[in-house]
Structure 1
């Protein structure tokens, strides 16, 4: 088992959220908790191509986009200003929801950006710890304590 306090939870969270492509992958060393970034052309050291199967590392597959979408929907639903919440919720309809939500937030409601980042980040970190637990890298007690200590922030 890895010590949760010694892991870069934010880096694991970034890997779980990375929806860009499969030309690169995020990996974790199950012995040390060290996270590595792999590309087909440069391997993990940035210079020497290596097949991902040749590495003794665990692939961190990204979570589906609907997981991250739900954070935006929950944020829009949790805002106390009903008109603002409706605007944010409307931005989530149809294709391009992630871009429209971000544009709506940054262009029309910049006062909510820090609250959005706080919610998004704490949920991403909890998901990272859940992922580590699901893969047997951290123990249940530490994961439960992390979840308790990192609850959703209050929304404005």
Structure 2
């Protein structure tokens, strides 16, 4: 088992959110908890190509976008500013919702950005810890303590 205190949970959260379709992967070393970035052209050291199957590392596959979408919907629904709530909910309709949500938030409601970032980051980090638990890299007690210590923040 890894010590959760020595793992960069934010980096795993970033990997879980990475929805790009490029020739790269995020991987975790199960012995150390270190996250590495692999590309087909430069391997993990940035210079030497290596096949991903040759590495004794665990791929960090992204969580489906509908999970991250739900965070935006929960934020839009949970804020008390009714006008901002309606605008953000409208931005979430149809294709391009992620970009429209971000544009609406940053351009029309910048005062809500810190609250959005706090909610997004808190949930992403809990998902990263759940991922570690699902891969038997940390124990239940560490995951439960992290979740208890990182609840969703109160929304304005």
- Structure 2, gaps ≥5 residues long: none
Q: Equivalent residue for 2:79?
A: 79
Match status 1:67 vs 2:67: yes
TM norm structure 2 = 0.99
Partners of 2:27 and 2:84 in 1: CA distance: 39
Q: Equivalent residue for 1:138?
A: 138
- Structure 1, gaps ≥5 residues long: none
1:84-126 Cα shifts (integer Å, max 9, x gaps): 1011001000000000000000000000000000000000000
Secondary structure, counterpart of 1:25 in structure 2: strand
Q: Equivalent residue for 2:17?
A: 17
Q: Equivalent residue for 2:108?
A: 108
1:22 to partner: Cα distance: 4.3
Deviates more, 1:21-30 or 1:121-130: 21-30
Match status 1:97 vs 2:108: no
Partners of 1:23 and 1:62 in 2: CA distance: 14
Aligned residues: 156
